Amino acid sequence: MDREAITRYLRESFAGIVPVAAWGEASFFYNPEKRLPRGVYFATIKERDGEHDRASALWRPEVFRLNIGISATTYRSMFGALPARPIAGGVIEGGHDFTTIDRLMPHPVYGWMGWISVLNPSAPTFDSVKPLLVEAHGLAVRKFEKRVAQLPCSPVTQTANHSGQLPGISKKSSK
């Protein structure tokens, strides 16, 4: 699969997605109606090495990495315990060869947060990660809802006053 096919799949398969290109990657946020400044990450496609993320050797021609944020429970079922956070510029422990093409493995830097990755997934490998993308999207939706509920102007956080009206809404304005 190529980057464009994966991007198309993400945009067509998941509601509320806002793609953002930055830092040598395409980031996919859940952010319906752009209610948060960025939204909540659920997947990225990284196309080049970064200052603190060189482990996958993305300098190689046509090599890219699909990254997916899954639950800690799913991560543990796939790879065992979450690794410790690496030092800046380092990679997680575990003996993984992060330059291997078409192998699902922990994210070299963000594995400690439950992120996984695969370089240049083949069609069968991509099919195998589709349920993980569904999970990642669901996690992003729940995180988004929690964040939006904490916004000062969120209807979820407003309470009715003693007359049963929401603050700032008068009976005269109702039609």
pTM of the complete model beyond 0.75: yes
Give Cβ neighbours of residue 151 (< 8 Å, ≥ 6 apart).
35, 157
pLDDT at residue 162 in the model: 38
- Residues 146-173 have pLDDT tens digits of 999 998 875 544 443 333 333 333 334 3
Domain ranges of the chain: 3-149
* Contact present, 155 and 168 (Cβ < 8 Å): no
pLDDT at residue 152 in the model: 87
CATH class of 3-149: alpha beta
Low-confidence ranges of the chain (pLDDT < 50): 156-175
Give 37's Cβ-side CA count (13 Å radius): 0
pLDDT at residue 154 in the model: 56
pLDDT at residue 155 in the model: 55
Count Cβ atoms below 10 Å from residue 21 Cβ, excluding itself: 10
